A and B are shown apart, each in its own frame.
Chain A
């Protein structure tokens, strides 16, 4: 049985990754899972300087999912290079660094700082719904997405994944723009903007009022978007949205994803990532599938 997948020339021992922002830089979950078992660790978004993030409350539970408005709190690229990257290097897994910024030059600064770093790929966050400047502002218009993607591609030494927002009229239009600008892969979906109101206090539950929704409740939306995008572009897709077990992951692969990422479900069960790896293997055994790549886009 072969679970290896290749994305933009990078080899992954299996198609299971972590979704940015749900796994820190791996350290916190290394108490629970052997990071060597994962195809990749995708880090929490890293900016050129430390970001404070939003006021609390930053998280809320909703039916079958959760809202978050963390606001991309992160220690910045200096601390990431000194502390987090050396930690991740101890493991036999790909490191994908998620990059966020307020301006194009913020992104480019981080991209350049990572140019000689032991990092397999870069994932560009142009889809966080919880910050006022940057991020989603680049991901909701095809021309700005094209522009930032091509600027990053000019500087980046590693293959570039653009992480797309579902908060658009037509995600395939964004996907095509990123592909046309030279993106090597796409990851999707980022969270869906939502809101929760405490009716007893007549107040917003999140200090930010709105937050990004994730968890099992968003999975059908994510599977649909992955399927539509896989029909529209040739570059590989990393699918995510509520994946909690091997069956969920297989659904994304069949829809056209070349790999998957586990996000909010890490919070529900800290062992989810490895259980997804094992669940995909069990499915492959059950249906006598030799190569996991045979599943990609195989929905009939």
Chain B
């Protein structure tokens, strides 16, 4: 997919230094190093840090920007915070209708050093990209201060180069929905696929369209099989036996009827709608499906399970969800810290589940009786969240993900062999990393 981008020995040349608007320390540092022609790349290394104590004395207005507020959680939290705090007023601005659009809009603001937004709601996969550009405030101290109330796996999604660049707000993890009257609760992927192939009405639906969701579906299996894309040092380790096994397994599943070929066109919503028609036994989807399924004739017959393990391995998954990142150009960093403090309190995290059906980042919330009543599958969800891992951590994650989903798709649709796809995937991920 990549256009033979040569490795970059970048020289500091033109840096746009039109208007040094708000003279925050970080902006000045950026300009100085860019104009001075120094060799040190300006990025994560020199970012300013958020002071965890500053939240207590905060006042003024905080503008939180992000994707459209489907569940109402962003606006709801802003309102509740404003009411509880008394000194700081928070407001939520929807700046993108889809995740992709929101990212574009956020990037445009950050590139222009805009002071419009103090906080961004960021998809977990954006952290390293934004942090590497010096766009975000270092939240390491804040996260350390709050660490005991946050689930460790969710905190990991905000980590880049040993620092934390955001605080988790709510999380997400894949679940298996299954028809209790037709199929058994999945214990392993192998058992799920075998069961799904037994009868035409038992089939498995997942997100197999050529897009981010396919990367997620593939990684969930790869992680549980013990494979990985990048190792701890960031080397490309995707060319492995595990990757081949998982690819063969998925493509066999399409051939032997475990999964309907239609999954090649499904993202989250079509997969859900297909499952709601009652023609399938298993579905992989996010927690939001629970409430929707309850409004269908399947309400009494479906069960929820955490993602299964690979045979002989350990169950794992991939984390979704959203973090709160403070803009380096924010003019009210203290207010932003106060908002984060509020949003991550165990008490508000209960509301995250009860009022907005999102997965809390605080473990205690999952065993709260009121939460359990609204989210009877909270135990399964917590198991999924705790076992899940972040997607590959890299500022060029979008390119890495494309390398994954395009090549996985090629195998599933039968246009490439597993061997070809694995090699190409590894090659493209290596090229992608070189463009960084």
* Bound together: no
